[in-house]
Amino acid sequence: MKPLIVANWKMNPQALKGAKRLFNLVKKETRKVTNVEIVVCPPFIYLSNFFYGRGKTMIKIGAQDCFWENPPAGGGAFTGEISAKMLKDLGCKYVIVGHSERRRYFKETDEMINKKIKAALRNGLKPILCIEKISQIKKGIKGITKKDLKKIILAYEPVWAIGTGKACGIPEAKKVNLSIRKILMDSSFPTSSYILYGGSINSQNARDFIKKAKFQGLLVGGASLDSKEFIEIVKNVSET
């Protein structure tokens, strides 16, 4: 089971030139890393630029969000939204759902997030369900079949650690990881399911979250915008 490293670029970089430069640097410096799965999630507007003419690379592409309907279903055209079907057609493999910033700034509820997960699964995408607290797991996976549960990736991100430089302590992170595992077992999740840690990840602590806290991967925010730092994170994790 390869560690999964997901780069969430959020609303960055501010120009296509910078986005291409960042992607190409990561692609070049990680081309020999074969024991880590790398996923880059750029803003919607840049997605198509990483599917054409990018040469040979093992990097997968994901989106940062999706809507829960495919028009004309649901009785609306949904101006400004991006469907899971669009993302799949473009070539995306993954989609982040329920990030704390979506919950906070856009008032996304557990019910909305649940519908987005189902839309992603219907369209062949692997949803990365972000949770701030363990109670959000059962609400996020409500009504999802046992067959589809194995396609869902969980990402634990304590909200106080996001963008603060104060990552969760390894002993505490391990404890939460074990608690999540227990809930997954009670919910019929496969024991091989990925659980990621996110929140102030850097090249110094990345390896410990995999080796000591026993997570299967990382959701990297700010550090993924620094090519040298992100490359170092990938290489350090590859050595675990």
- CATH code, 124: 3.20.20.70
* Given 99, 101, 108, 132, the catalytic residue: 99
Q: Is 157 a catalytic residue?
A: yes
Q: What contacts 204, CB < 8 A, 6 or more positions away? A: none
Q: What pLDDT score does 195 carry?
A: 96
Contact predicate 197/219, CB 8 Å: yes
Structural domain harbouring 24: 4-238
At 55, the pLDDT band (50, 70, 90 cuts) reads low
pTM for the model stands at: 0.94
Q: Which structure tokens are listed for 23?
A: 């992607």
Domain count, the chain: 1
List, for residues 91-122, the tens digit of each pLDDT value. 999 999 999 999 999 999 999 999 999 999 99
Distance between CA atoms of residues 127 and 97, nearest Å: 6
Q: What pLDDT score does 164 carry?
A: 81
pLDDT reading at 66 higher than 90: yes
Looking at every residue in the chain, the average pLDDT score rounds to 92
Contact predicate 37/57, CB 8 Å: no
pLDDT reading at 42 higher than 80: yes
List, for residues 159-206, the tens digit of each pLDDT value. 888 878 888 999 999 999 999 998 888 877 776 789 999 999 999 999
* Given 37, 101, 132, 157, the catalytic residue: 157
Q: What pLDDT score does 183 carry?
A: 86
Q: Which structure tokens are listed for 87?
A: 């993302």
